[in-house]
């Protein structure tokens, strides 16, 4: 019997793959989630890996518009642009 369902922010790397397997061993049903921010990534390979490791489902959402609108155009104290970190 499942302890519940968990949505894991999953990159396909060693850390999140280890966490995915651990959560399953602990009795959770895991949904792997990957945010497409415009990075050059083989999303099909990441999905395949997540499902092979035991994820019940894989969700990849294109968040490029949200990234631009809500993060890149972020303003602090109604006047300071917060784009400096993105430029680095």
74 domain residue, yes or no? no
49 domain residue, yes or no? yes
pLDDT at res. 39: 84
Q: What is the pTM of this model?
A: 0.74
Q: How many domains does the chain have?
A: 1
72 domain residue, yes or no? no
Q: What's the domain range around 31?
A: 4-63
- pLDDT at residue 16 greater than cutoff 90: yes
Find tokens 């784009």 and name the residue. Answer: 83
**Average of pLDDT values for 3-8?**
96
**Average of pLDDT values for 29-38?**
92
Q: What is the residue-wise DSSP string for 16-55?
A: HHHHHHHHHHTTEEEEEEEEESS----HHHHHHHHHHHT-
CATH number, domain with residue 20: 3.40.50.620
| List of residues 6+ apart from 52 with CB closer than 8 A | none
- pLDDT at residue 6 greater than cutoff 90: yes
36 domain residue, yes or no? yes
78 domain residue, yes or no? no
Model confidence at 3, in pLDDT bands (50, 70, 90)? very high
Query: Tell me: the pLDDT tens digits for 37-88?
Result: 888 889 999 999 999 999 999 999 988 777 767 666 666 667 766 665 555 5
69 domain residue, yes or no? no
**Between 70 and 21, the higher pLDDT residue:** 21
């Amino acid at each position: 019997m499942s302890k519940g369902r968990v949505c894991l922010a999953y990159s396909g790397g060693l850390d999140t793959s280890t966490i995915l397997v651990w959560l399953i061993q602990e009795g959770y049903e895991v949904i792997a989630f990957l945010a497409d921010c415009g990075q050059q990534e083989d999303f099909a390979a990441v999905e395949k890996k997540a499902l092979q490791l035991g994820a019940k489902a894989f969700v990849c959402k294109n968040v490029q518009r949200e990234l631009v609108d809500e993060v890149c155009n972020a303003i602090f104290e109604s006047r300071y642009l917060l784009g400096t970190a993105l430029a680095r």
